[in-house]
Amino acid sequence: MSLFNTAPDVWADFAHRFNQGMADTPGIGGWFQPDWMIVILHRDGRFMGQGADGELILLSDDDIRNLAHKKRICLRLGNGLSQQRDITLPQAARHNPASAIKLSLEQYFPFPADDTAFTVHGTELTAKTGQCRFRVSFARRSVLEDCLARAAVLGLVPKVVDALGENPFEPVSADLLSGDRAGGGRNASKLLLVLCALFLGIALFLNVWSSLSLAPTAAQLQVHLSSEDTDQALLQKKNKDAAPSALEIWRSVTRALPDNAYAEYLIYEKGRLRIAGKASDAAGLVGAMESQAIFTGTAFAAASLEEDDGKESFDLTTAVRKGPQP
């Protein structure tokens, strides 16, 4: 069995259980149940309803006429006019029990098929045998029409008709007139579906909006960053072109130092050269360094001291620039 065949059954089973669970939830369950005015008609012609204290009371003809303006009236037929019974069906019929019952009307009801009206209530009980048991209201169509005519004389036009059960004021869930569920309440599963679709639509809208509104900004930032990267690269290239090579620095230092001087270390960093070592005349090294075209602003970084070997220590710092090209 393909996914397309099983999906409707899975959803129908989930929706049924979800709707029942929401309707039975304390507090908010009433919001998912229709508010019906129940009027009970007995075989002897008496109309009865629910009193202020919740008890069953006899309704006069005037009381019935006063109820005629109510929009949600359920006419509940008493014993002798209709009945309720439980019908057990296979699990395969749990989503559409009415169709399964129609195939064997004579088996379930004592009336002729063309004179039988029935409706399946929403409650179903799963038996241990793997079958489902449904509560069903049924009546003769001719009796049903007589009851409607009797109510119409008093101006009462019910929207739903069902059979009287053990509880005279049990929630209305099925309709003998249409043979379907009574409806009228808010469908919790459809509301859930609408909310999911709404959230999905909002998420899609935000995604499209962000793509349309933020994409140009991102492109501008990318161009800006690319421009900065290019400028930085050009600046680095410019600085590199303006700086002499290490070989040129080394040759200039070698030419600047006299034979009686030697360097112990050289450090070149950020356009400045620091050179330290020993010489017979440390003071004369400033002029010697300045004699080279790539050195300028030569100065002592530390005081010159006379060592034990008779030479003077020196520590010079000088700015390095690229010399003239030959």
Do 125 and 273 lie in one domain? The reply is: no
When mean pLDDT is compared over 23-37, 101-115, 227-241, the highest value belongs to 101-115
Q: Residue 120's pLDDT band (boundaries 50, 70, 90)?
A: very high
Q: What is the rounded distance in angstroms from the CA atom of residue 261 to the CA atom of residue 254?
A: 10
Kindly report the backbone phi and psi dihedral angles of residue 312, in degrees, each rounded to the nearest multiple of 5, phi listed first: -105, 135
Do 73 and 167 lie in one domain? The reply is: yes
Determine which of 128-142, 160-174, 235-249 has the lowest per-residue pLDDT on average: 235-249
Do 88 and 150 lie in one domain? The reply is: yes
pLDDT at position 118, please? 96
User: Would residue 200 count as lying in a domain?
Assistant: no
Closest CA to 139 of 158, 166, 112, 100: 112
Whole-structure pTM value: 0.50
Give the count of domains, the chain. 2
What average pLDDT score do residues 88-105 get? 87
**CA atoms in the 13 A half-sphere facing the CB of 94:** 22
CATH label of the domain that carries residue 44: 3.30.420
Q: What is the overall mean pLDDT for the chain? A: 82
The β-bridge relationship of strands 47-50 and 56-59 is: antiparallel
CATH label of the domain that carries residue 255: 3.30.1360
What average pLDDT score do residues 140-154 get? 94
pLDDT at 241 over 70: no
CA separation, residue 20 to residues 84, 155, 186, 193 (Å): 21, 34, 11, 16
User: Would residue 228 count as lying in a domain?
Assistant: no
What average pLDDT score do residues 85-109 get? 88
User: Would residue 226 count as lying in a domain?
Assistant: no
Choose the final residue of a domain: 193, 219, 237: 193
pLDDT at position 9, please? 64
Choose the final residue of a domain: 193, 225, 256: 193
Alpha helices, DSSP H, located in the chain: 3-23, 61-67, 97-102, 105-108, 141-153, 188-242, 246-256, 285-290
Closest CA to 311 of 269, 270, 278: 278
**Positive or negative, the Cα torsion across 3, 5, 10, 12?**
positive
What average pLDDT score do residues 88-96 get? 83
When mean pLDDT is compared over 139-148, 184-193, 219-228, 286-295, the highest value belongs to 139-148
Determine which of 66-75, 183-192, 259-268 has the lowest per-residue pLDDT on average: 183-192
Kindly report the backbone phi and psi dihedral angles of residue 43, in degrees, each rounded to the nearest multiple of 5, phi listed first: -65, -30
Percent helix, strand, coil in the chain, to 5, is: 40, 30, 30
Beta carbons of 176 and 82 less than 8 angstroms apart: yes
User: Would residue 218 count as lying in a domain?
Assistant: no
pLDDT at position 111, please? 92
Q: Residue 259's pLDDT band (boundaries 50, 70, 90)?
A: confident
Determine which of 65-79, 208-222, 225-239, 268-282 has the lowest per-residue pLDDT on average: 225-239
Q: Residue 1's pLDDT band (boundaries 50, 70, 90)?
A: very low
Identify the domain containing residue 68 by its residue range: 3-193
Please report, as a single letter, which amino acid is at residue 133.
R
Beta carbons of 182 and 74 less than 8 angstroms apart: yes
Do 20 and 126 lie in one domain? The reply is: yes
Q: What is the rounded distance in angstroms from the CA atom of residue 68 to the CA atom of residue 154?
A: 8
User: Would residue 234 count as lying in a domain?
Assistant: no
Task: Give the tens place of pLDDT for each residue, 301-321.
Answer: 888 888 888 888 889 899 988
